[in-house]
């Protein structure tokens, strides 16, 4: 067992897609430590590939029976990332399945506190929730600094020193209280728990190049996505959709997944100036254009 781990979460419908994330994080992300798969309701026959690759498999039960909106209940199983079991590793990096890793990501291990990238469009805490339950919605506004910018839960760095069964239980209590009004599943709940207790990751480690219009149409335009270390492809199409501009890249990684650990890694590190440039562009464009473009559904 290694010191740190990349963790993925999947049910039966997404299990195959995790292979691409694992492969791209190894081949292009320079990852040399453990991989952990949180498998919810995945048949044993679908886990054979992972066992052969010596990927740690943890079978989990659903946190709740219900999902939220168009999100299945699987997303709430991210709460397992924060329990005692994960303390086998010093730090874990969680990656969503709609991610393609392009460059070395080992710099993420420098974070000694919970860290994540800002939410797309820099949405605030209150924007994570619907007003369908006025009482619950009002409680959030009364109890929390709801105009704080939220973080996105697609990429998270978790030093497991913060983990405990109490942490997971607190998340479950928040889910019971506000789960019926959260727009994007786990994300609203985790933002309430970690409000003012998270560090911001550089944009290139959760890069929404294709999903935020101001990347291409802003006052200062990004010409391409070459600066990205981790591409998070939320919309308009997921990377496995044939309409996605990333489909060919995603498909190639999927086809190459059987070569995992059998070929040399490409250790291309993201540059400091490159990261700074993207940060400046996005900060300027977000302030000017956030109100111009209506946020799209994830």
- pLDDT of 47 strictly over 80: yes
Q: Give domain status of residue 295, yes or no.
A: no
Contacts (Cβ under 8 Å, ≥6 apart) of 135 = none
Rounded percentage of the chain residues whose pLDDT exceeds 90: 84
User: Per the structure, how many domains does the chain have?
Assistant: 1
pTM over 0.85: yes
Return d(Cα 145, Cα 284) in angstroms, integer: 24
- pLDDT of 218 strictly over 80: no
Domain limits at 158? 4-289
CA-nearest of 85, 84, 78 to 172 is 78
Mean pLDDT across the stretch 216-232?
Answer: 90
Q: Give domain status of residue 258, yes or no.
A: yes
Q: What is the CATH number of the domain that holds 243?
A: 3.90.550.10
Q: Which pLDDT score is estimated for 289?
A: 67
Mean pLDDT across the stretch 217-225?
Answer: 86
- Between 234 and 69, the more confident residue is 234
Q: Give domain status of residue 52, yes or no.
A: yes
Q: Which pLDDT score is estimated for 283?
A: 86
């Amino acid at each position: 067992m290694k010191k740190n781990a990349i963790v993925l979460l999947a049910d039966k419908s997404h299990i195959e897609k995790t292979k691409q994330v694992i492969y791209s994080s190894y081949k292009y992300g320079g990852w040399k430590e453990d991989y952990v798969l949180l498998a919810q309701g995945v048949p044993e026959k679908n886990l054979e590939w992972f066992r052969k690759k010596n990927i740690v498999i943890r079978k989990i039960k659903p946190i709740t029976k219900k999902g939220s909106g168009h999100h299945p209940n699987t997303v709430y199983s991210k709460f397992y990332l924060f329990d005692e079991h994960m303390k086998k590793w010093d730090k874990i990096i969680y990656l969503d399945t709609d991610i393609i890793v392009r460059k070395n990501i080992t710099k993420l291990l420098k974070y000694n506190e919970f860290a994540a990238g800002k939410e797309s469009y820099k949405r605030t805490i209150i924007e994570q929730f619907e007003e369908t339950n006025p009482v619950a919605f009002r409680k959030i506004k009364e109890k929390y600094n709801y105009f704080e910018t939220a973080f996105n839960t697609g990429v998270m760095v978790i030093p497991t020193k913060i983990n405990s069964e109490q942490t997971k239980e607190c998340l479950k209590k928040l889910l019971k209280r506000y789960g019926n009004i959260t727009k994007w599943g786990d994300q609203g709940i985790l933002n309430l728990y970690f409000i003012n207790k998270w560090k911001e990751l550089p944009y290139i480690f959760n890069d929404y190049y294709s999903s935020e219009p101001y990347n291409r149409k802003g006052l200062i335009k990004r010409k391409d996505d070459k600066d990205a270390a981790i591409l998070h492809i939320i919309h308009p199409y997921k990377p496995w959709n044939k309409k996605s501009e990333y489909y060919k890249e995603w498909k190639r990684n999927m086809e190459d997944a059987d070569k995992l650990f059998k070929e040399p890694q490409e250790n291309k590190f993201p540059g400091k100036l490159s990261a700074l440039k993207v940060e400046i562009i996005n900060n300027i464009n977000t302030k000017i254009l956030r109100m111009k473009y209506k946020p799209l559904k994830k």
